[in-house]
Amino acid sequence: MSFRATVVTLYPEMFPGALGLSLAGRGLEAGAWSLETVQIRDFATDRHRTVDDTPAGGGAGMVLRPDILASAIDHAAPEGDTRPRLLMSPRGKPLTQARVRELSAGPGAVIVCGRFEGVDQRVIDTRGLEEVSIGDYILSGGEPAALVLLDAVVRLLPGVMGNDASADEESFENGLLEHPHFTRPQMFEGLSIPEVLTSGNHGKVAQWRREQALRLTEARRPDLLAAEHGKKDGADR
């Protein structure tokens, strides 16, 4: 069974967007995954199709109403649907490659895209929404974040990348950032390809790539190394 994505959104026209192109687009055409959207506004109950209201306790902005959003989610994921329900939110847990792999191994996902100031907490609680963040910054809505999440997941589905081994040494797969890459020409603006990469010695190439990955990770993302050391320390106890 292919990976099935359902996006609950006020802007269904934003999908598939970039997901209709390149690897994800070819996978979509080939049936490796499917995508459907649910328009939240279709579940509004007044003639103006209102989906938001002022925040309880006062304050700026508007909040998505729980009754309307809950109806949209229930339509997207009726009883018996075991797919995880994700809410794209800046206060969610950071999306990691490990979580992406978990999702890619599952049946799909229902992805809720918030707008305005946020989503009524009661619908988060009653519908079991898992809040997911793609970074420490604010977007105008959850749709761009949903596109990012789906792109990360879809490329790992069987057959989408063509060569599934392509992902094995990518950043975050082994707790490190990826090593530098080089290709022809041998000389570019006075800079040459590192000699070890043209030596034909696969052992030395692997060692060089590992050393470069460690160096980059230590310089740019020392938190990844700290996390990896923490895992090892816990396993040794």
* Span 44-66, pLDDT tens digits: 999 999 999 999 999 999 999 99
Note whether 29 and 103 are same-domain residues.
yes
Residues forming beta bridges with residue 6, ordered by sequence position: 36, 110
> Is pLDDT above 70 for 236?
no
In this prediction, residue 136 carries a pLDDT of 96
The pLDDT, as a whole number, for residue 227 is 78
The structural domain count of the chain equals: 2
Please identify, among 154, 181, 198, the residue that sits at the C-terminal boundary of a domain: 154
Q: Per-residue confidence at 232, pLDDT binned at 50, 70, 90?
A: low
d(CA 237, CA 235): 6
Is the domain of 101 the same as that of 70?
yes
Q: Is residue 160 assigned to a domain? A: no
Three-state DSSP at 160 gives coil
What's the token pair of residue 184?
């022809």
- DSSP readout, 201-217? -HHHHHHHHHHHHHHHH
Report residue 36 as tokens. 């459907």
Residue 68 located in a structural domain: yes
Q: Are 182 and 147 members of one domain?
A: no
Q: Is residue 182 part of a domain?
A: yes
131 plus 176 within the same structural domain: no
Does residue 127 carry a pLDDT above 70?
A: yes
Q: Is residue 82 located within the same domain as residue 142?
A: yes
> Which residues in 73-100 are b (16+ Cβ under 10 Å) and which e?
beebbeeeeebbbbbbbbebeebebebb
Q: Which of 154, 186, 218 is the endpoint of a domain? A: 154
User: Are 50 and 107 part of one and the same domain?
Assistant: yes
Residue pLDDT, tens place only, 139-197: 999 999 999 999 999 999 999 997 555 556 566 777 899 999 999 999 999 999 999 99
Question: 118-144: buried (b, 16+ CB within 10 Å) or exposed (e) per residue?
Answer: bbbeebbeebebebbbbeeeebebbbb
Query: Sorting pLDDT into bands at 50, 70 and 90, what band is 198?
Result: very high
Confidence (pLDDT) at 162: 72
- Decide if pLDDT at 231 tops 70: no
pLDDT(69) > 60: yes
Banded pLDDT at 78 (limits 50, 70, 90): very high
Residue ending a domain, among 128, 154, 180, is 154
Do 10 and 123 lie in a common domain? yes
Please give the span between the terminal C-alpha atoms of the chain, in angstroms, as a whole number: 41
* Domain residue limits at 45: 3-154
